[in-house]
Amino acid sequence: MTREAPSATLREGVIQYIVRRALWAVVLVFAITMVSYALFFLVPADPGRVGRGPARETTNLRESVEIKGPVYKEYGQFLWRIGHGSFGESWVNSREVNQVVFEAMPVTLSLVLGGAVMWILLAVPIGVLSALRPRSLLDRLMTVLVLVGVSAHPVWLGLILSYFFGRSRLFPFGGYCDLTAPTYVCNGFAQWAWHLFLPWLTFALLYAALYSRMIRASVIETMNEDYVRTARAKGAPRWRVLRSHVLRNAMLPVVTMLGMDLGYWMSNAVFVESVFGLPGVGRLLTTSLSRRDLPVMMSIVVFVSLLIVVLTFVVDLLYAAIDPRVRVGRGGGEGRQVSARGPKPAVSSAEQPA
């Protein structure tokens, strides 16, 4: 009975945490849609003159999206359009806007998610090894790489990688291999990953150096905690202490930074796609800006903002999964929130001091 009560309290706290984050995500969705509506429909300008395209000489944004009436009614129709993914037709090629954006979205997601996986595979082992051997040659090299990664611009880094790897013909200079529509030249997962390797590497190097340094500092700080010293004093193997006690708690500030950097990922994807000629959302946004295609611009702003909200909510769930003791107090405030230094969990029963 005494063991079931804390378990039920923990489960209830996690559920409250998830519900609170979900409600906050809904509030963000309404805020994003209100700002988007005001930006594209209430700003004192004439969209028919500003966004004129070659397909139609005179076009009004309200007519394209088919909303009209008072402000509150237009906003309700705007929400309905967002829910159904219908933003009218492009002013440039007269195609459905949602079709144009959805064709480009998988390319950007492939770039961002693949680059994130690559920098995690680079940053975690390098950061842990640097923490286990501070002031070593690897640690000093990482200090230099951090300065390069923070200072380098995505365009410059992409051009440098393209010059060296493109001349050696190890990887293609640009272009995209569609995984969902294979052709004779581009067929299968291997070709898809081969074409995206340089964009992934460019994207990963921008963050791997910074995050490896963050992981190093977090691991060093966690290794000095009382519960880690207690586990090592009890004779627990080093790999077990590192896996069960150090890494899990050292990743908490990293997960927090992941949620904060989602917007920067999407912004850097614009530069990477421009360098390597990827037909993603970033390249579509720059094209629509140059052609003043307001329906496409509006759909990209809305969909990308909502995607960031969804990914932020997923990061919050991951945070709760790593440390289930994150809970909400009954009074409405958050209790036992984990600080940036990470929690100080109790040592397992097998490793508690006598």
Average the pLDDT over 184-192 and give the result.
Answer: 73
**CA–CA–CA angle 36, 39, 40 (5° rounding):** 90
Question: Which band of pLDDT confidence, cut at 50, 70 and 90, is reported for residue 236?
Answer: confident
Q: Are 91 and 52 in contact (CB under 8 A)?
A: yes
Q: Is residue 58 predicted with pLDDT exceeding 80? A: no
Share the mean pLDDT of the chain. 77
Question: Which band of pLDDT confidence, cut at 50, 70 and 90, is reported for residue 181?
Answer: low
Q: What does pTM read for this prediction?
A: 0.75
What tens digit of pLDDT does each residue of 107-160 get?
A: 888 888 888 888 888 888 888 888 888 888 877 887 787 777 778 888 888 888
Q: What integer pLDDT is reported at residue 99 of this predicted model?
A: 86
Q: What integer pLDDT is reported at residue 7 of this predicted model?
A: 62
Task: Give the CA distances from residue 251 to residues 72, 124, 217, 228, 314, in Å, rounded to whole numbers and listed in that order.
Answer: 44, 9, 11, 15, 16
Domains of the chain by residue range = 4-351
Q: What integer pLDDT is reported at residue 51 of this predicted model?
A: 46
CA 125 from centre of chain: 21
Q: What integer pLDDT is reported at residue 71 of this predicted model?
A: 83
DSSP state string for 209-228: HHHHHHHHHHHHHHHTSHHH
Q: What integer pLDDT is reported at residue 59 of this predicted model?
A: 59
Report the distance separating Cα 84 and Cα 143, nearest Å.
Answer: 49
Report the distance separating Cα 108 and Cα 111, nearest Å.
Answer: 5
Strand, helix or coil at 327? Answer: strand
What tens digit of pLDDT does each residue of 205-219 get?
A: 888 878 888 888 888
Among 54-63, 143-152, 227-236, 339-348, which is the least confidently predicted range? 339-348
Average the pLDDT over 54-75 and give the result.
Answer: 71
Q: What integer pLDDT is reported at residue 10 of this predicted model?
A: 62
Report the distance separating Cα 129 and Cα 212, nearest Å.
Answer: 10
What dotted CATH number matches 4-351? 1.10.3720.10
Pull the structure tokens for residue 23: 């409600």
